[in-house]
Structure 1
Amino acid sequence: MKTDIIRADMTRDEAGSYLGHTVFRLEGHEAAYEITLFSKKGKEWDYALNFAEESGDEEQFLRADSLIEEDDELFDRLLDAALEMQEESTEDKSGQ
């Protein structure tokens, strides 16, 4: 399924925990979604899915959540988008 990444971010705190967000749109879905990603050490990830802006169709939301749960490639794409932003942020700080 075609996925458009709108924006993403990731932070890592002093304890090594990660917190990130990826806003995206799925082909055929009216609303954009925001996935919040969390991991204590960057190995096992938890997530929460929400509408990015206004609420949308609940059936589409439930399909999106099921798709993320079942499609490892989609989940990894959303996670990688956030991790790449964290890496860019780290590079920007070290390059100053």
Structure 2
Amino acid sequence: MEVNITEASMTHSKEDGYLGRVVFGVTGQQSAYELTLQSKNARDWSYSLSFTASSGKEEDIYVVESRLEEDDELFDALVDAAMQNLQS
């Protein structure tokens, strides 16, 4: 699965911890995705995956969600992209 990141951002505050957002596309799929990230310590991440501007196929988002859960390198690459844009 080839991922193309188009936007990435991260903020940090004492109250909320780390809050990030990554917008990306997947080769062979028409819809773009938004990954919202949250962590108190920048190690244990909670996330939410959704379509960006328009909804895509339900099967496609399940494939991407499954891949994020199984592929630590992919998930870490998305987190790293957001962390590179960290703003306090």
Which segments of 5 or more consecutive residues in structure 2 lack a partner in the other structure? none
Which protein has the bigger strand share? Answer: 2
Instruction: Say which structure, 1 or 2, has more relative contact order (CA 8 Å, 6+ apart).
Output: 2
Matches within 5 A, 1:44-55: 44-55=44-55
Q: TM-score, normalised by structure 1?
A: 0.86
What RMSD in Å do the two structures reach over aligned CA positions? 1.2
Separation (CA, whole Å) in 2 of partners of 1:59 and 1:26: 13
Contact 1:36/1:47, CA 8 A, preserved across alignment: yes
Which protein has the bigger helix share? Answer: 1
Matched with 2:28 is: 28
Question: How many angstroms does 1:74 deviate by?
Answer: 0.7
The runs of 4+ residues in structure 1 deviating greater than 4 Å are none
Separation (CA, whole Å) in 1 of partners of 2:37 and 2:81: 11
The SS at the match of 1:44 is coil
Q: How many residues align?
A: 88
Separation (CA, whole Å) in 2 of partners of 1:16 and 1:32: 26
Identity of aligned residues (%): 44
Which segments of 5 or more consecutive residues in structure 1 lack a partner in the other structure? 91-96
Separation (CA, whole Å) in 1 of partners of 2:31 and 2:70: 20
